Amino acid sequence: MGTRAVILASLLVACLAQACDGNVLFSSLSRTLVVEASPTAGQVLKSGEDKIKVTWSFNGTYSGKDADYKTVKVKLCYAPVSQKDRGWRKTVDNLKKDKTCPHLIVARPYSSSAPNNSFEWTVTKDIPKATYFIRVYAINASANDVGYGQTTNKNKTTNLFEVDAITGRHTSLDIASVCFSAFSVLSLAGFFIGEKRRAKKSSPPHM
Amino acid sequence: MEIEPPESVVPPPAKFALPVDSEHMATEFRFFSIAKPHMSAFHLSWVSFFTCFVSSFAAPPLIPIIRDDLNLTATDIGNAGIASVSGAVFARLALGAACDVFGPRLASSSLIILTAPAVYFTSIASSPVSFLLVRFFAGFSLATFVSSQFWTSCMFSANLVGTANGLSGGWGNLGGGATQLIMPFVFSVIRDIGAVKFTAWRIAFFIPALLQTVTAFAVLLCGQDLPDGNLQRLHKEGDKPKEDFSKVFYHGISNYRGWILALTYGYCFGVELTVDNIIAEYFYDRFDLKLSTAGIIAATFGLANLFSRPLGGVLSDVVAKRFGMRGRLWTLWTVQTIGGILCVILGRMGSLGASVAVIVAFSIFCQAASGLTYSVVPFVSRRSLGVISGMTGGGGNVGAVVTQLIFFKGSRYSKERGITLMGIMIICCTLPICLIYFPQWGGMLCGPSSNKSFAEEDYYLSEWSSLEKDIGFHHESMKFASNSRSERGKRSVISTTGAASISPSIQV
């Protein structure tokens, strides 16, 4: 009994120490924001063309207050299916090391009333092809995350949407690649043929 | 009246810019000269190898962009990395044989031009499979290592060959480090001009591809196979016998020393390739560095080649002056084993500063061992120099493939544990150097054969049949044998004329 208490106490101290250290754990945050986004479940958005509208508001059922929320960061996050076998997108509880949400949509001063609690964003051309959800972090004056909200459930399985990225390929690049390659190979062939011809011309008749 | 050997009856020897020995191989090295044929061959060989290294490892520094564009998984990236070094395993052996038969100029320029399309097509890769294929075919160009070593071995005399090989190999290998700086820079310039990320990396690949094409043409137009001329012309004028590929191949693969060097090279050069592929990620993950910082540390590992590989070659030549071939073998074993010990230590270092210090030391010893290996290779065979160079070079890539497969694929071992285990494997796989034995010079553990009349000529002429000797195909090997007498070390009496005053077995 006594040892369990000691262990729990030390865990608590460790968690608090982490929080004080600036290492906020995601599991310590409460879902204090309600976030809605325009993409429907399974919708495929084209990067560079389609838009996403995100709206956030304070969760009325939550007992705490939003007085210390200073800014919000709206982020585009990878769904588990796009994190599989991709260690650079890994979810880690320590938010400093977490790589789930690398794409910042917008950072805004916090406001829980319209029109400042929504944002329309065109999916930029550097967003890779993957499955996503949206998460909004609430940040206090000391730049620590103190709350969040997201468009999906706890296990990140519902209401996910996809982005169809640009390939980056252009017809001009395709043509240039083919032309340069053909030029290289053909010049080599031309060189060999030229050498053979020159050798035939210059070699004196042999017995 | 002495009947002079037939070589002096042919047209008077061409004037060379550098002092040469009886085979017209240079006995002096002049860095800033580009005089034909020796120094121009040296510069062409290292520059062409450099551009091939830049192309083959152009993808790793841009992987964070490419993996998003092509939707790659960690497995796809790992497989492409293994593919990039596995193509060269057989390409090196094939190119070695091609050098023996066609000459290094044609062999290497053809390979470089034929692999340039793979680099051009990287710009239009659109899936994990196409990415793996372009990396696989572009990796074939790493075989130019063999042609560069072959070329410098043909141009520089025995007392200099370690240095020349070490410099051309080392400065070529530099490409692996330079590309970690070049590609991100080119990418950022193109992106700042206005291209989107996913197009900018594609355009960036045209730079290494164009470099490859240009250097291949330079080799074709300005290079010369041998001090006396190009191979084709020498064949025609009867100065050099046309080689029989199957004989060359047989004499190469039946020489056990080639196999031992192939194994040990896998654990100096192969380890270097493995580290090139994994080290940026290791520092990034273990010490939470920025990608650019991790990239700079990764680049320094490759850039150490500027001096560390040549250092191995120079050290070998210096030791050989006094201790001959036995000294070369002992130095090779010592340097490579120390490299293995440093690798074990690297995996156990927990602080960033200590890790960087250890990795710098490790890079020096690992790359010096590569230089030392190729100071021994030219002496293993004269007739099949290309095949032996190719086998050893191919063995290097096999070592890279095997090491990555065992220790760095998937999550079986953490990277630090993988590095420590790799160090242990280096130490074990370096031991077979003890088994290399030259009857005329000795090996690590035994002195030269007690049969005093067995000389260098006997060793090198054993590669020619008596029929071939009757026709006179073996004269070049004879000259080499006489010039290699310096491998006996200080105890030998080397006559100033280079004629064999010791061995009575010379036939005129």
- Minimum distance, in Å, between the CA of residue B203 and any CA atom of chain A: 8
Q: Residues B217-223: what's their mean pLDDT?
A: 90
- Minimum distance, in Å, between the CA of residue A190 and any CA atom of chain B: 12
Residue A74's beta-bridge partner residues?
Answer: A106, A136
**% of chain A at pLDDT higher than 90:** 48
Q: Residues B179-192: what's their mean pLDDT?
A: 87
Beta strand ranges found along B362-491 (DSSP E): 437-438, 442-443
**CB A45, CB A161: distance < 8 Å:** yes
Q: Residues B207-221: what's their mean pLDDT?
A: 93
Confidence of residue B70 (pLDDT cuts 50, 70, 90): very high
Domain ranges of chain B: 35-225+243-443
Question: Could B210 and A180 be called an inter-chain contact, meaning their C-beta atoms sit closer than 8 Å?
Answer: yes
pLDDT, tens digit (0-9, with 9 covering 90-100), for A17-35: 444 456 889 999 888 888 9
User: Which CATH superfamily, name and number, covers B35-225+243-443?
Assistant: MFS general substrate transporter like domains (1.20.1250.20)
CA distances B169 to A77, B4, B269, B304, Å, are 46, 38, 11, 12
Q: Residues B190-218: what's their mean pLDDT?
A: 93
Confidence of residue B505 (pLDDT cuts 50, 70, 90): very low
Query: Is the pLDDT score of B464 beyond 50?
Result: yes
pLDDT at B4: 46
Confidence of residue B407 (pLDDT cuts 50, 70, 90): confident
Question: Could B69 and A176 be called an inter-chain contact, meaning their C-beta atoms sit closer than 8 Å?
Answer: no
Query: Is the pLDDT score of B49 beyond 50?
Result: yes
Query: Is the pLDDT score of B494 beyond 70?
Result: no
**CB B147, CB B387: distance < 8 Å:** no
pLDDT at A122: 94
Confidence of residue B497 (pLDDT cuts 50, 70, 90): very low
d(CA B146, CA A55): 62
d(CA B168, CA B149): 7
**% of chain B at pLDDT higher than 70:** 90
pLDDT, tens digit (0-9, with 9 covering 90-100), for A147-200: 999 999 989 999 999 999 998 899 999 999 999 999 999 999 998 898 888 878
**CB B393, CB B146: distance < 8 Å:** yes
CA distances B75 to B69, B102, B273, Å, are 16, 40, 18
**CB A97, CB A22: distance < 8 Å:** no
Of residues B234 and B38, more confidence is placed in B38
ipTM: 0.81
- Minimum distance, in Å, between the CA of residue A181 and any CA atom of chain B: 5
Interchain CB contact of B80 with A (< 8 Å): no
Question: Could A185 and B120 be called an inter-chain contact, meaning their C-beta atoms sit closer than 8 Å?
Answer: no
pLDDT at B239: 60
Q: Which residues of chain B does A180 touch, with a Cβ-Cβ cutoff of 8 Å?
A: 116, 120, 206, 209-210, 213
Count CA within 13 A, CB hemisphere, residue B129: 0
pLDDT, tens digit (0-9, with 9 covering 90-100), for A109-122: 887 666 678 899 99
**CB B456, CB B502: distance < 8 Å:** no
Q: Which residues of chain A does B67 touch, with a Cβ-Cβ cutoff of 8 Å?
A: 86, 88
Amino acid occupying residue B143: A
Q: Which residue has the tokens 């890079």?
A: B363
Of residues B292 and B162, more confidence is placed in B162
d(CA B128, CA B83): 12
pLDDT at B36: 76
Q: Which residues of chain A does B69 touch, with a Cβ-Cβ cutoff of 8 Å?
A: 128, 165, 167-168
Q: What's the predicted TM-score (pTM) here? A: 0.81
DSSP state of B36: T
Confidence of residue B507 (pLDDT cuts 50, 70, 90): very low
